[in-house]
Amino acid sequence: MLEVVDLKKQYKQTRAVDGVNLFLEEGEIVGLLGPNGAGKSTTISMMSTLIKPTSGDVRYLNESVVKHPQKLRENLGVVPQEIALYPELTAKENLEFFGKIYKMDKQLLKQRMEEVFQLIGLENKKKELVKHFSGGMKRRLNIGAALLHQPSILFMDEPTVGIDPQSRNYILDTVKQLNKEHHITIVYTSHYMEEVEYLCDRIYIMDEGKIIASGTKQEIKNILSSEQTFIVEAQSLKKEFIERFKKDGAVQQLSYSENKVTIIVPKETNYFHTIIQTVEEEKQELKSVEVQKPSLEDVFLHLTGKALRD
Ligand SMILES: Nc1ncnc2c1ncn2[C@@H]1O[C@H](COP(=O)(O)OP(=O)(O)OP(=O)(O)O)[C@@H](O)[C@H]1O
Ligand SMILES: [Mg+2]
């Protein structure tokens, strides 16, 4: 449905987007995940025809949107990262304003506003000034504005940043509902791994302007399938105990605190046995030994050497 081909954006010294390729099939929720400055918003802006690429192309229904943006614009809703609302206007007046931008017929707009207010759960707040809204309510109205003209594709750029958990859950459930019940195809940008894991069918992981991994959750986690992670907990870990793992050539990664050590080893080794043996030999008291399944967070750390929320 939508395809991004070798997309680049250069700002003076900064290469914000550096050769991104991705695609979007009808009916999917696709996640675009990456830390601050990865190039997510710039990619979304080029995909939604708001800014022009330095090179590369975005194709919608086999036509370049750089040259012919109109068809995509009609079918697209964008929820920008920065809230774009008028604080001095009421919620209703804000939506009316967006309806005018979309050149919507008055009667249709009235009907759509009712539906949208219900969807975003702000039916009782229509007449309140937006400046009196909580962060979560503003985020919801921001989403509502993007839905007025019934887009079939929706780009959401970090729609849950800086809001309370309740609003966040509300928004996540709304995103699912939009996809399942209203059949909207969604690109969801976030640096919260758990959101993307919860929502998305497929995920692209982005860092420093490039896509560094892509696929279903399982496919991405399989990147780590050659490793296994053990977490050993105790009241207090002995220095000698930790030293044994530091010296062991089989250990790929080691991190520890006073009462917990995390050990990453190749999958094929029977390391559980080694850990238990070392516990006995060093007379280390023990609370638990846990084998950890890889998370997307681990994949990111593995690929980039840094935590997602840096
Ligand atoms: N208009 C601009 N002029 C100059 N540099 C820019 C501009 N917009 C973005 N950049 C730079 O491009 C890089 C990517 O920025 P972008 O906003 O796309 O990242 P992001 O992944 O959306 O980050 P965040 O999670 O913080 O929203 C950053 O280094 C940023 O400073
Ligand atoms: Mg951004």
The residue from 198, 221, 244 where one domain ends is: 221
In a domain, 300, yes or no: no
In a domain, 137, yes or no: yes
Asked if residue 287 and residue 143 are part of one domain, the reply reads: no
In a domain, 282, yes or no: yes
Asked if residue 217 and residue 238 are part of one domain, the reply reads: no
Q: Within 6 Å (CB) of ligand 1, which residues are found? A: 11, 14, 16, 34, 36-42, 81, 191
Total structural domains in the chain? 2
Which CA distances in Å does 9 have to 114, 211, 240?
39, 14, 52
User: Whose C-alpha lies nearest to ligand 1, atom 16?
Assistant: 39
Which CA distances in Å does 96 have to 5, 64, 149, 154?
36, 31, 12, 20
Asked if residue 212 and residue 257 are part of one domain, the reply reads: no
In a domain, 309, yes or no: no
In a domain, 174, yes or no: yes
pLDDT by residue for the chain (310 residues), tens only, comes to 999 999 999 999 999 999 999 999 999 999 999 888 999 999 999 999 999 999 999 999 999 999 999 999 999 999 999 888 999 999 999 999 999 988 899 999 999 999 999 999 999 999 999 999 999 999 999 999 999 999 999 999 999 988 888 889 999 999 999 999 999 999 999 988 889 989 999 999 999 999 999 999 888 878 777 788 899 999 999 999 999 999 999 999 999 999 999 999 988 778 999 999 999 999 999 999 998 877 777 788 878 777 766 5
Asked if residue 211 and residue 238 are part of one domain, the reply reads: no
User: Whose C-alpha lies nearest to ligand 1, atom 10?
Assistant: 16
Rounded CA-CA distance 268/240 in Å is 26
Q: What is the DSSP string of 129-154?
A: BGGGS-HHHHHHHHHHHHHTT--SEE
In a domain, 145, yes or no: yes
CATH number for 142 = 3.40.50.300
The residue from 204, 221, 238 where one domain ends is: 221
Ligand 2 center to 44 CA (angstroms): 9
In a domain, 302, yes or no: no
- Rounded to two decimals, the pTM is 0.81
Ligand 1 center to 226 CA (angstroms): 34
In a domain, 306, yes or no: no
Mutate to test the pocket of ligand 1, among 40, 48, 160, 192 (most ligand atoms within 8 A of CB): 40
Asked if residue 108 and residue 243 are part of one domain, the reply reads: no
Domain residues for 107? 2-221
Asked if residue 93 and residue 38 are part of one domain, the reply reads: yes
Q: Are 168 and 13 in contact (CB under 8 A)?
A: no
* Ligand 1 atom with minimal separation from the 51 CA: 1
Asked if residue 130 and residue 238 are part of one domain, the reply reads: no
* 289 exposure class (CB count in 10 Å sphere: 0-12, 13-18, 19+): middle
Asked if residue 285 and residue 140 are part of one domain, the reply reads: no
Neighbours of 308 (CB within 10 A): 21
Asked if residue 151 and residue 76 are part of one domain, the reply reads: yes
